[in-house]
Amino acid sequence: MSRMSGIGQYVPGDSSVHRLDAAAKIGVVAAFTVALFVVRGFAGLAALGAVVAAAIAISRVPVRAVARGLRAVGFIMVVTIVFNMVRWQPTEALVRLGPLAIDGAGLRMGLFFAARILLLVTGTSLLTLTTSPVQLAGGIERVLAPLKRVRVPVGDLAMTLTIALRFIPTTAEEAEQIMTAQQARGASFDAGGPIARARAYAPVLVPLFFQLFRRADALATAMEARCYRGSEGRTRLVESRMGTADWVAMLVSGGVVIAVGVLL
């Protein structure tokens, strides 16, 4: 099971971060992302980091769940730091390694970029950690609503997204089971070169895709039987609308991060 709990997977809860409207959260995260890219120095990053830390604390999402997302980008962060700090012609050499040197300015730049990646991932994963996939799809639908005027089928896209999210755990289980079954028949997935390895996955991918297409077909029939005919005229069990609290929360927190970004 642990293999399936992926990065940024929803952790149900009842904190004020959880209860904030999904569209508002998307707004805040967008503002946060902008702030991250206009911020100039470590002070700004530290301030934004404090904002994220506060949000995590309020959301009561386990730090472990947040950290899981960071493991995946850890490598990228390390590469960023190493590539920035190691130079041929250092401006302020800290340590010399033959023709190469670790450069002080480069190190600072690497750390700055790495911290930016760290905060970007933490901020966005906090969105998915505190928002159920369906709320998220609904939020995206409302954020993109203006595009309906130019005939973009926003509602259908949101439905597609919801269904994809619904079937991720089911498909992961199926994939795991097919893989184990083929292993039990002597298949090995880690022997040989890249081509041999890619070929070894055919006994997993062929049945998995076959199953997915079959399921897609059956699901379409079931949805039709349940009167699905596009997003036109659909109502919702929970009509989400941005309340005053959501607007206030979005504008205040959005304003704060932008201010931090511009000022520091």
Partner 1 sequence: MIRFESVSFRYRADAPLALDDVCVTLEAGEVVAVVGANGSGKSTLARLCDGLLEPTSGRVLVDGIDTAAPESLWDVRSMVGMVFQDPDDQIVGTVVEEDCAFGPENIGVPSAEIRVRVDSSLAAVGLQGLERREPHLLSEGQKQRLAVAGALAMRPRYLVFDEPTAMLDPAGRRAVLEITERLARAEGHGVLVVSHDITGIARADRVIGLDSGRVVFDGGPDGLLGDAGMMALLGLALSPAARLAAALRERGLDVPLSAADAESLVASLWR
Partner 2 sequence: MALILDDIVCEYATGTALAAVALDAVSLTLSRGDLVVVLGPTGSGKTTLLRAAAGLLSVSRGRVEIDGLPASGRGSARGAVGLLFQRPESQFFSLSVAEDCAFGPRNLGRTPDEALEDARDALSAVGLDPVTFGPREPWSLSGGEARRAAFAGVLAMHPRYLLLDEPTAGLDAEGRRSVCEAIESARAGAGVLVVTHDAEMFLDSADRVLVLRAGRPVFDGDVPALLEALPRLSEAGDVDPPEVPRALMLARERGLLAPGTLTLDIDRAAALIAEGLSSGGARS
Q: Choose between 190 and 239: whose C-beta lies nearer to partner 1.
A: 239
Binds partner 2 (CB under 8 A): choice among 13, 155, 169, 207: 207
Positions 40 through 79 that interact with partner 1 (CB under 8 A)? none
**Cβ atoms within 10 Å, residue 101:** 20
Query: What is the contact mask toward partner 1 in residues 139 to 178, using x (rule: CB under 8 A)?
Result: -----------------------xx-xx--xx--x-----
Q: What, of partner 1, partner 2, none, does residue 259 touch, CB below 5 to 8 Å by kind?
A: none
Stretch that binds partner 1, among 51-59, 104-112, 193-201, 215-223 (CB under 8 A): 215-223
Q: What, of partner 2, partner 1, none, does residue 195 touch, CB below 5 to 8 Å by kind?
A: none
Binds partner 2 (CB under 8 A): choice among 83, 210, 228, 247: 210
| Separation CA 56–CA 70 (nearest Å) | 14
Burial class (CB in 10 A: 0-12, 13-18, 19+), 248: exposed
* CA distances to 96, 134, 226, 234 from 237, in Å: 65, 12, 15, 10
| Separation CA 106–CA 85 (nearest Å) | 4
User: If you search the block for the tokens 């830390």, which residue do you land on?
Assistant: 53
Strand boundaries in 2-146, DSSP class E: 86-87, 93-97, 100-103
Question: Residue 243 carries which DSSP code?
Answer: -
Contact present, 16 and 58 (Cβ < 8 Å):
yes
Q: Choose between 42 and 201: whose C-beta lies nearer to partner 2.
A: 201
Binds partner 1 (CB under 8 A): choice among 3, 64, 149, 229: 229
In terms of Cα–Cα distance, which of 258, 243, 257, 251 is closest to 21?
Answer: 243
Stretch that binds partner 1, among 93-101, 112-120, 127-135, 183-191 (CB under 8 A): 127-135
User: If you search the block for the tokens 């005919």, which residue do you land on?
Assistant: 229
Residue type (1 letter), 47:
A
Positions 179 through 198 that interact with partner 2 (CB under 8 A)? 180-188
Residues forming the site for partner 2 (CB under 8 A): 1-2, 174, 177-178, 180-188, 202-204, 206-207, 210-211
Residues that bind partner 1 (CB under 8 A): 12, 132-134, 162-163, 165-166, 169-170, 173, 215, 218-219, 221-229, 233-239
